[in-house]
Chains A and B, each alone.
Chain A
Amino acid sequence: MIAQQVLNGLVLGGVYALFALGFTLIFGIHRIMNMAHGAVFMSGAFIGLFTVQAGLPIWAALPVAMVGAGLVSIFIEVIAFKPLRKLALADAELASIISSIGAGLIVLSLGQYVSKTQTLRFPFGTVPVDAIQVLGLRVTMLQLLMLGVALVLVVLLAYYLYRTPQGRQVRAVAGNYRTAQLLGVNPNAIFYQTFFVSGALAGAAGVMVGLAFNSVQFLMGEPFLLKAFVAIILGGMGSIPGALVGAMVLGLFQTLSAAYLPALLVDAVIFLLLFIILMVRPDGLFVQTVTESPTQRV
């Protein structure tokens, strides 16, 4: 039934949103593509899992996972991006992408080691398996949790960015460190904050996905990273509301495609959507004041 699929799509969209928001926050502020974001996501899932295995309930494990993932994210910033900032190259872009890939691999191999390349699962009953009936639709506790977490975190993120002085500083920096420094902003503080927040969001997404698909394994981040590109381009690279909308659209699109198309075509269709968006409206659905245009202006 379509309504059920729409619900599923929204739940998936919520998770994509958390992942995409973290990624686009970094890109919007620092103009960096953090290719280790998938690894941060994975580490959140692992930390959440181990916390639950240690006996804590899910609502305590989630914040622990978020903090842990935030710290992993800062670690990645320090080893992959910080050294390149000092070098100030014209094409540091490519070098920092490769560097972040390397950092991601280091974190991945740690995950592989810790899990002995096995797929781990959250203990049965971590989230109650009951479901409720809402408007004729069957909504599981897990789905409620995922939607709830996504909603709360997005609201908190919005509050942080638009209502707190730290958040305002972060937005003001957006790519222009020298001006920010002249205004008394400490760029390092901005880096740590943004990477921590980005990682925390990804970590929350990791726990949710680990619960939803009942599997936590060290490669779980890769397909998400690729799909995240779709969400971010849809909404406009660097745009926070855009990432949210793009993620929801992606979640719906993916779920509906999976329901009505052969499984092997779903990916093709999703990436075709990405390609078409780039051809037709590369700015994304939310046209915000981007400093760099996606199209050539020779």
Chain B
Amino acid sequence: MMSFIAPHLPLLDLICIGTGYALSQAIVFRAGTFSVATSGFAALGAYCAAILVVKQGFHPALAVGLGTLLGLLAGLLLAAPLARLRGVYQAIASLAFVEILVALILFFEDLTGGPLGFHSIPRVVQPWMLVVAMLLTMAMLYVLGKGAIGRAFEAMRQDPPVAASLGVNPTKYHVISFALSGAIAGLFGGLDALRNFSLTAEQFGFSILIATLSAVVLGGRRTVVGPLVGVTILVLLPEIFRPLAQYRQAIYGLLLVVVMAFLPFGVYDTIRLRMRDRRLARQAVAAASSGARA
């Protein structure tokens, strides 16, 4: 079994971390927010963990924990200013946040290594840790989604004024969604830092932001499995099309265009919706025919 998995471990790493980031992104979408701040929170978690381990000798688990906390705090702080903005403007403000952060990381060279990057990070994180982290996060978000917080998020996403008129405090849930997003991104950022030997600011910039966004929209943003599906597709794609490696970007782009045209809710979510519709139709037919008999 291991000999089958072993050559693919780097892919597994990528899928787990990518899914972590994608879940962080998806949770704010579920609450009706259009923020893309995830990569910024991840950067904070990553550099926090790396700096604490390498420069201060912290235990890796503690460092990652503190990275998670930093992400959570950043989420809390960002929630208030972004709450007043709508849709596209929220997205741009969160994009500005990420760009400011990346620029600052590049600037404070003494702390972060600047443009040269931060190196010699011990590779403490094993693939199984990533898998566990990913599964636990998915489980937590699943439970959360089924419960009261999930209901409030759904209401806020679909009709914010109605949600408010039912007693849902929009600010409270807005803040919760950002705190969760920040914490999850901070956690996976920290894990990312400790499995990579080195960090650069660019790896948390515009490209990963777009990649994470694409993964979520590609796979499905209303479920917990959707982001995993999206990330898996995006990670496996270059591997499957290895012979066509130079056209990788074009294939990636084509994939996005085609999936959006035919499965606009994301691959997983759209399939699930179609299955549910079919199930309801079958039930309706069954009920009608049994009613006719009675």
The reply to whether B107 and A265 form a contact with Cβ atoms under 8 Å apart is yes
Q: How far is the CA of A275 from the CA of B81 in the complex (A)?
A: 9
| A84: Cβ under 8 A from any B Cβ | yes
| B142: Cβ under 8 A from any A Cβ | no
Q: How far is the CA of A109 from the CA of B170 in the complex (A)?
A: 42
| A105: Cβ under 8 A from any B Cβ | yes
Contacts of A33 in B (CB 8 A): 88
The reply to whether A278 and B103 form a contact with Cβ atoms under 8 Å apart is no
| A80: Cβ under 8 A from any B Cβ | yes
- 9 closest Cβ pairs, A-B complex: A102-B256, A105-B253, A268-B103, A83-B261, A109-B250, A109-B249, A99-B260, A106-B253, A102-B257
Q: How far is the CA of A148 from the CA of B164 in the complex (A)?
A: 53
The reply to whether A96 and B96 form a contact with Cβ atoms under 8 Å apart is no
Q: Which residue of chain A has its CB nearest to the CB of B207?
A: A222
Q: Which of B1-9, B144-152, B212-220 contacts A (4 or more CB under 8 A)?
A: B212-220
Q: Which residue of chain A has its CB nearest to the CB of B93?
A: A278
Considering only residues 170-207 of chain A, those with a C-beta below 8 Å from chain B are none
Contacting residue for A298 out of B102, B160, B249, CB 8 A: B160
Report A148 CB to chain B, min CB distance, Å: 31
Contacts of B131 in A (CB 8 A): none
Chain B positions within 8 Å of A, measured between CB atoms, are: 29, 34, 81, 83-89, 92-93, 95-97, 99-100, 102-104, 106-107, 114-115, 160-161, 164, 170, 206, 210, 213-214, 217-218, 221, 246-250, 252-257, 260-261, 264
Considering only residues 88-112 of chain A, those with a C-beta below 8 Å from chain B are 89, 92-99, 101-110, 112
Contacting residue for A262 out of B97, B102, B107, B214, CB 8 A: B107
The reply to whether B214 and A101 form a contact with Cβ atoms under 8 Å apart is yes
Most buried by B among A80, A97, A237, A292: A97
A sample of 23 inter-chain contacts (CB < 8 A) reads: A80-B260, A87-B261, A87-B264, A102-B252, A102-B253, A102-B260, A103-B253, A104-B253, A105-B249, A105-B256, A106-B253, A107-B253, A226-B99, A229-B96, A264-B103, A271-B97, A271-B100, A271-B103, A272-B100, A278-B89, A295-B84, A296-B85, A296-B170
Q: How far is the CA of A103 from the CA of B83 in the complex (A)?
A: 31
6 additional A-B pairs beyond A79-B257, A98-B214, A275-B93, beta carbons within 8 Å, are A84-B264, A99-B256, A268-B103, A275-B81, A278-B92, A294-B85
Contacts of A95 in B (CB 8 A): 217, 260, 264
| A26: Cβ under 8 A from any B Cβ | no
- Please give the number of chain A residues whose Cβ is less than 8 angstroms from any Cβ of chain B in the complex: 50
Report A82 CB to chain B, min CB distance, Å: 9
Report B257 CB to chain A, min CB distance, Å: 4
Task: Given A101-B214, A112-B249, A298-B160, verify A282-B85 contact (CB < 8 Å).
Answer: yes
Most buried by A among B102, B106, B107, B257: B257
Q: Which residue of chain A has its CB nearest to the CB of B254?
A: A106
Q: How far is the CA of A95 from the CA of B92 in the complex (A)?
A: 16
Q: Which residue of chain B has its CB nearest to the CB of A283?
A: B89
Q: How far is the CA of A282 from the CA of B124 in the complex (A)?
A: 45
The reply to whether B264 and A233 form a contact with Cβ atoms under 8 Å apart is no
Contacts of B261 in A (CB 8 A): 83-84, 87, 99
Contacts of A109 in B (CB 8 A): 247-250, 253
Q: How far is the CA of A199 from the CA of B104 in the complex (A)?
A: 33
Contacts of B257 in A (CB 8 A): 79-80, 99, 102-103, 106
